[in-house]
Structure 1
Amino acid sequence: MNKSRLNVRKTVVSSTLVAAMVFSPVLSDGAFAQVDSNEVKQSDSVSSSSNNVLNSGDRSEAVTALQTELESLGYYTYHVDGIFGQITEAAVKDFQEDEGLTVDGIAGPEVMSALSAVDSGATEPTSDEEPTESASQSEVVSIAKSLIGTPYVWGGTTPDGFDSSGFIQYVFNEVGVDLSRTERDMWKYDGTEVASPAIGDVVFFEGTYDVEGASHSGIYIGDNKIIHAGSSGVEVSDLSYDFWQDHYLGVKSFK
């Protein structure tokens, strides 16, 4: 997997990350983390932290530092919350794959050393480099925000009224991207699946009503929020709500 490093910020946090891992308590469970709380014991958490190892279910300042460092390298684009869930694990795996490390989603000493090495070679973006948010991403979000308040209409595909997939299709059509009519087909046939959402990507959900596959979607606008056409019309919603976490399917980029 090849990732652009053009917009990488020079982030000297590796020593902070190690210190946080040593001295911060590690808890369990978080957004998108499928961890049985009965299986997470305090002794295991202390051992994980003291051995400089972070993995799924951990929650601490060390995880926050890890997410921040992965974010600076372009691997983690979700909400920095200190919770080692599925999205953080996927970002670690992507980094491991690019660095030729064992791909297990566990942030141990080998990963920390590689992060430190990559950071030491990172450079500040110059005025000639493109910003992190591309013009098309900004335009997608701008169009989506302009439609907030539009009523929900079953089968609706215009600003007179949208259903959930009609809203997504309309916004991307406005920036020259043709998408399938239904979320199910968008998820199956359009775009590229990514590990975590960047601004302008589309987050998909399943099981929101009786249909096989993707059944709802929203445009990610940053800060752990999406714009979507729900039963109350086009609105902003927070992904931290249990409903979204329970029905989360994945993310696609239509850039």
Structure 2
Amino acid sequence: MKKTLTTVAATAVLSSSFVSYAAASTHKVESGDSLWTIAREYDTTVSNLKNWNKLQSELIYPNQLLKVAQSGSNVTAPPKKTENKSNSSNKTYTVKSGDTLGQIALTHSVSVSELSSWNGIKGHLIYPGQVLKVSKGSGSTPSPAPAPKPAPSQPQGGTYTVKSGDTLGKIALTYSVSVSELSSWNGIKGHLIYPGQVLKVSKGNGQAPKPAPTAPSPSKPEPESGQQSYTVRSGDTLSHISMKFDVSVAELKSWNGLKNDFLRVGQILQVKSGKKPVAPPPKQETPKAPASFSVDTLLSEAKSHMGTPYVWGGSSAGGFDCSGFIYYVFKQAGSDSVKRLSSEGYYSRSYYVNNPQPGDLVFFENTYKKGISHLGIYVGNNQFIHAGDNGVEITSLDNSYWKSKFDGFKKFYEL
């Protein structure tokens, strides 16, 4: 989604003298934006954005102008990340990790069926690096782009081609170099890399070093101290991981070059000291749905995704929107009758209840648009779990914002 960094500079002539106005760093909110995504974009925190803009909640709306740097400071917002958008001459778009056909169609004001037709797509499968036609234009419909070839396990000539899910820390660990060396050799500021990017993994121009042996899994016996690695799982936080390894959050952030508390599922963290963690059994990647629906299973599944980030149109363990979260956890709890719908779709397939029970639905209206626009699952004690701007979280219905948007409790007809 294209972001706009607006720099306002005005000069007026008053009594033959010039009055200059300092440039202000602001961001114009677009549909699908959240405080969390904007904070990541400008390398700041949600708390800073709320303080600078005097926000009482995480609610923002399209065309709202937000400050993204502290007023009166000499520090301006960092350059925005470049995103691939529709090219004015050829009207194409290069798919990025996390994109969906629905999101791309909304961004370019076209329908999903048009995108599928113009690009010969059957179903909804797209992948990073794929080039899509986003306007009818002229010429024949392009054939689906060939699936990208996997990067070779051994780099050629001292280089490595970045794959989806890679991080600087993971690549550095694989080739026995430091993150700072990788950044220096490739002129990288920060930690942003992208699929298809070719990185130097050795100082000279000679042959690249062989990948280092895979670090031992924390679940296997290993020394009480020394360097270890840990792969982030869904629901993990820096606090949880620091307790497992008997280290501090500050140490984890320092060892892995982290500037904030954000973690990504699959990310590999380096742990230089501490004790061996007691690792739980690995979570089944594609669990089969239980034979019949269970409220206990529903609530347990929903809570297991606490902290999973918000993704517009997302309905998988990698990221959810509000309705995608409902679809995923109900399906995992054994309800094959619940289909993938919007919040309005679920609203029309449910009925009101006066005495809500854990597992019932909670609907809200007039949040980011008019009418029914958000929903969650009631967990008891006047609380509900939902996929909001801050990711999957449990929120009290006494919260002033959600209380003002509350519509009612409902149950699915199908269950």
Normalising by structure 1, report the TM-score.
Answer: 0.45
Bigger radius of gyration: 2
Q: Which structure: greater helix fraction? A: 1
Whose RCO is larger (CA < 8 A, sep 6+)? 1
TM-score normalised by the chain length of structure 2: 0.28
